[in-house]
Amino acid sequence: MRRFALAILCAIAVASASIKAHHAHTDFALDRDVTLSGTIESVHFQNPHVLLVVRTPNSTFYTAEWQGAGWLQSHQELVSSGAVPLTSTTLKAGDRVVIVGSPSRDTTLRTVVNLKEVRRPSDGWLWSCRQPGMQQIC
């Protein structure tokens, strides 16, 4: 029984260490925000992260790494009131979006993580960790 308990504790320790390493984002400037505007080229609505590939007006491609699909669907309170909840069909190729997140320290990577806001100006749809009166949870 002790060996089994020890094996479980070791598995939990390894899993939690790999989760922290996965989300450390040491190669990103988490203390800064950048705003990225452009047209969605593709949406990969999946776990562990939803990926948005966005083409800017000067035809530069960026990847925005969002929360996981399941997490986003379970936090509908982050979608502005009156807007449709986030699903796999909410955002699609061709949508113009504005994204706020943390940039890579290496600008050649063209990746944004730790998204704080995703807007679709055409209809006012907004997902934001910065909802008034709410603690930022992402």
pLDDT value, residue 124: 93
Residue 83's pLDDT is 73
Judge contact between 75 and 137, C-beta under 8 A: yes
pLDDT score recorded for residue 135: 67
Where residue 101 sits, what CATH number does that domain have? 2.40.50.140
Amino acid in position 36? L
Domain of residue 55 covers: 28-128
Average pLDDT per 10 consecutive residues for the chain, totaling 138 residues: 42 39 63 94 96 97 96 90 84 98 89 94 91 67
Q: What is the pLDDT of residue 131?
A: 67
Q: Are 78 and 16 contacting, i.e. CB atoms less than 8 angstroms apart? A: no
Determine if the peptide bond prior to 48 is cis (ω within 30°): yes
pLDDT of residue 11: 40
Position 10 in a domain: no
pLDDT of residue 57: 97
Domain count across the chain: 1
Residue 130 pLDDT: 75
Please provide the DSSP assignment of 82-114 as one string: TSPPP-TTTS-TT-EEEEEEEEBSSGGG-EEEE
Residue 23 lies in a domain: no
